[in-house]
Structure 1
Amino acid sequence: MPVSGHVDRWLREHREDVIGWRRHIHAHPELSNAEVETTEFLAGILREHGLSPQLFPGTGLMVDIGPGDGRIAFRADLDALPLSEATGLEYSSTVPGVAHACGHDVHTTVVLALACALSEIREELEHGVRMIFQPAEEVMVGGAADVISWGALTDVAAIFALHVEPKLRVGRIGVRAGAITSATDVVEIQVHGPGGHTSRPHLSADVVYALGALITQLPGLLSRRVDPRTGTVLVFGQVGSGYAPNAIPESGVLSGTLRTADINVWRHIEPLVDELVGQVLAPTGCSHTLNYNRGVPPVMNDDVATALLAKAGRRNDPQGVVEAPQSSGGEDFSWYLEHVPGAMARLGSWSGEGDRQDLHQGDLLVDERAIGVGVRLFAATIDEYLASPASPEI
């Protein structure tokens, strides 16, 4: 029997258990690098199913199933967000100001259920599988970098992940070769001048005017120096300066995010930003300090891995696979793809009724049927991977 056949049968028999796991995780969210109870909960279930999870330092874990080298890996993320839930669900967050509003509870349940299903046929598996339960996806620069340093990709030949998509109807899988997310960096520009009186701006360097020039000119200049097809966008979200209406301040700060879907732009854009800031400020007489905080690269889905995911999705539903749009959001799954080939899919989670919601909102609702769709997608991915002529290395 193919892996997908066994997993499908297991899911039908254990549906209530799986839904219960998701609801427990949802009701007990934990912030990045504090996923202690979540880690213990997952480890306990895995051990109950005869598996031997390996705990990471701090939080998170991984577990291997089946034979050794060249494993196919599946990654889930554990952390929740620092916001309040407003769904009214009976299993809503029990932790004030913390909620699973990005679907990580679903991602975790999908990978957990797959692990438990495979535990029953681990002696029969033709190829090794690794489940990675990663902490701290929601913070810069993401927990993936730590997990990789702890050996999560040792002996891994390919890796896959999914992310809930509340704009996509449940049952649908969104795939996209190449960039499916964007790099996300934080840019802070400190502007300096001697200060002075507003009645004598010619004797000073007007920091507030300089900040305004940066706000209005810098994004446009970037759009003329970087290929617009790369989706490179600078947006400021914070500005501060001054203490009195008749005083020119000595300093001010401007901060925002720079996003790009092009990994080569991401790797080389910091010097260009610094150059352009200096050019904008030159006529004002102000100086600057650039604090450029690199976040995560874009998730660059491998062409072959993406095609394999799409084929796996169509195995379960011939009409269920659609092309996913490229997102300007960031995702630290990108760090894994810097080391091994793989792909991330979008998992439809909209019930088809009511408004389509968005991630990172307290009222986010996920149709729980998406869990089964995700588990079956990954099971079919294992079958397609084993059948691929490029296996065990995509």
Structure 2
Amino acid sequence: MKDKLMSMLGERKNEMIEIRRHLHEYPELSFKEEKTAQYIADFYKGKDVEIQTNVGNGFGIIVTITGGKPGKTIGLRADFDALPIVEETPVPFKSKNEGIMHACGHDGHTAYMLILADCLIQLKSEVAGTIKIIHQHAEEVPPGGAKSIIESGLLDDLDEVYGIHLLPIAPVGMVGFNKGYAFNGRAYMKLKIQGRGGHGSSPHLANDAIVAGAHFVTAIQTIISRRLSPFDIGVITIGSFDGAGTFNVIKDSVVLEGDIRYMTVETQETIERELKRLAKGIEAEFDVQCDLTYTPDYPPLYNNPELTEKVAITLINANVKEITEVKEVPPMAPSEDFAYYAERFPACFFYIGCTPKGVDKPYFNHHPKFDIDEDALLVAAKAVGQVVCSIQGE
């Protein structure tokens, strides 16, 4: 089966590229991917599979391939939403949806997965067990699509789940893996500080919300430097400080919004506890009222070490010419809602290098000039295909 699958994928490389370019031209935002979802569903029409659409809190799709032999039930996930970014790449298949761009490679994820799935459908009599293809909506915007797809119950029978992400800072042919915590978790913070406004000449008659807010911005960095172990990872970013007013008027209230990142649940709990403590301290010190909203969204992504080790060994021994290097890479700072699958099932999420040809300093994901080398699509398909075949042999 493995040799047949690798041959079939190689013959359909150009089709992967065509699909990716079509999706790139017509990107859709999270929770609004109606046409993309229809394109995916149409691809499977007439094929010998079970198709479930509108799964979860949006346009999720699960395609079930029932093999001809007994075996495990595994999930293969690919996301398909885009970002609110104005594209600046010079490609001829540039986004035709103004202000929306596939700047994270989800078009590529979907393209390789469609062709891989189709090849597995054709080989289903040789497949041991069941393969569930998870076409997931809304990875980019909390609460995301993954959590709701899991809550649908349609994946309750999974034994394992796998996913990949295209990585432009790594060369084509490189497959990266990370055992244990691989992506940061993320939380959202909003703080409204209600003071007492007044005349700029008479600060003693007011309680200045801007001064209190500025103190909070500085103080919270001590959470990272003085409350976390030096071996723990945590980041607090205040991305918005809404204190606009008039130069000679003491501001009555301000609103701050922040982004919190962490690599373990324990670190998240520490940051949350300390933020709340500091907000109470600001109230006492400046005689203001603080209304703090703290909302954890995506958890840290944890790769099952044993499963990830098997994936690494499989790919190292795969003897696939397109896979030129398999290596362990450091954890990634961004967040990824694949983490919800990894909380529920043994999981492995790995990386596929895709640095564009002739580029020394590639743009990272979410940049308006983000691009990929489309040769990486075949690498992704063959790498995941190899993993599927290795499970067949267990």
Tell me which interval the TM-score lies in, with the shorter structure as reference length.
Answer: over 0.9
Between 1:374-383 and 1:7-16, the stretch displaced more is 7-16
Secondary structure at the aligned position of 1:39 is classed as helix
Q: Which residue is equivalent to 1:385?
A: 391
> Cα–Cα, structure 1 residues 242 and 39, in superposed 2: closer, same or farther, change >3 Å?
closer
Query: Distance in 2 between the 1:370 and 1:332 partners?
Result: 22
C-alpha RMSD of matched pairs (Å): 1.8
Query: Distance in 2 between the 1:242 and 1:21 partners?
Result: 46
Q: Residue 241 of structure 1: CA displacement?
A: 1.8
Q: Is the 8 A contact 1:101 1:361 kept in 2?
A: yes
Query: Distance in 1 between the 2:179 and 2:357 partners?
Result: 26
- Match for 1:277 among 256, 276, 279? 279
Q: Residue 299 of structure 1: CA displacement?
A: 0.8
Q: Residue 235 of structure 1: CA displacement?
A: 1.1
Matches within 5 A, 1:1-394: 1=1, 4-57=2-55, 58-67=58-67, 70-267=72-269, 269-314=271-316, 315=318, 316=320, 320-354=325-359, 355-388=361-394
Q: Residue 271 of structure 1: CA displacement?
A: 2.9
Provide, for residues 95-152 of structure 1, a one-character-per-residue CA deviation record: whole Å limited to 9, x for no partner: 1111111000111112211110101111121121110001001101211111112224
Q: Is the 8 A contact 1:69 1:155 kept in 2?
A: no
> Cα–Cα, structure 1 residues 109 and 267, in superposed 2: closer, same or farther, change >3 Å?
farther
Q: Is the 8 A contact 2:158 2:345 kept in 1?
A: yes
Query: Distance in 1 between the 2:288 and 2:245 partners?
Result: 18
One-letter amino acid matched to 1:78: F
Q: Is the 8 A contact 1:180 1:326 kept in 2?
A: yes
Query: Distance in 2 between the 1:16 and 1:276 partners?
Result: 56
Between 1:279-288 and 1:187-196, the stretch displaced more is 279-288
| TM-score normalised according to structure 1 size | 0.93
Query: Distance in 2 between the 1:385 and 1:135 partners?
Result: 26
Provide, for residues 190-212 of structure 1, a one-character-per-residue CA deviation record: whole Å limited to 9, x for no partner: 11112222222223222111111
Query: Distance in 2 between the 1:12 and 1:363 partners?
Result: 28
What runs of 5+ residues in structure 1 fail to find an aligned partner?
389-394
Q: Residue 267 of structure 1: CA displacement?
A: 4.6
Q: Is the 8 A contact 1:218 1:280 kept in 2?
A: no
Q: Residue 281 of structure 1: CA displacement?
A: 4.4
Secondary structure at the aligned position of 1:161 is classed as strand
Provide, for residues 15-60 of structure 1, a one-character-per-residue CA deviation record: whole Å limited to 9, x for no partner: 2222211111111111111111111111122224433321124412
Q: Residue 225 of structure 1: CA displacement?
A: 1.4
Query: Distance in 2 between the 1:143 and 1:37 partners?
Result: 17
| TM-score normalised according to structure 2 size | 0.93
Q: Is the 8 A contact 2:216 2:278 kept in 1?
A: no
Q: Residue 268 of structure 1: CA displacement?
A: 5.5
Between 1:170-179 and 1:218-227, the stretch displaced more is 218-227
Query: Distance in 2 between the 1:279 and 1:212 partners?
Result: 14
One-letter amino acid matched to 1:335: Y
Q: Is the 8 A contact 1:169 1:352 kept in 2?
A: no
Q: Is the 8 A contact 1:324 1:346 kept in 2?
A: no
Secondary structure at the aligned position of 1:128 is classed as strand
Query: Distance in 2 between the 1:169 and 1:49 partners?
Result: 35
Secondary structure at the aligned position of 1:98 is classed as coil
Q: Residue 87 of structure 1: CA displacement?
A: 1.4
Query: Distance in 2 between the 1:280 and 1:367 partners?
Result: 50
Q: Is the 8 A contact 2:72 2:128 kept in 1?
A: no
Q: Residue 8 of structure 1: CA displacement?
A: 1.0
Q: Residue 242 of structure 1: CA displacement?
A: 4.7
Query: Distance in 1 between the 2:25 and 2:223 partners?
Result: 46
Q: Residue 386 of structure 1: CA displacement?
A: 3.5
One-letter amino acid matched to 2:239: G
Provide, for residues 305-348 of structure 1, a one-character-per-residue CA deviation record: whole Å limited to 9, x for no partner: 21122123212367511222212211100011111010110110
Query: Distance in 2 between the 1:165 and 1:228 partners?
Result: 28
Q: Residue 384 of structure 1: CA displacement?
A: 2.4
Identity of aligned residues (%): 30
One-letter amino acid matched to 1:379: G
Q: Residue 275 of structure 1: CA displacement?
A: 0.8
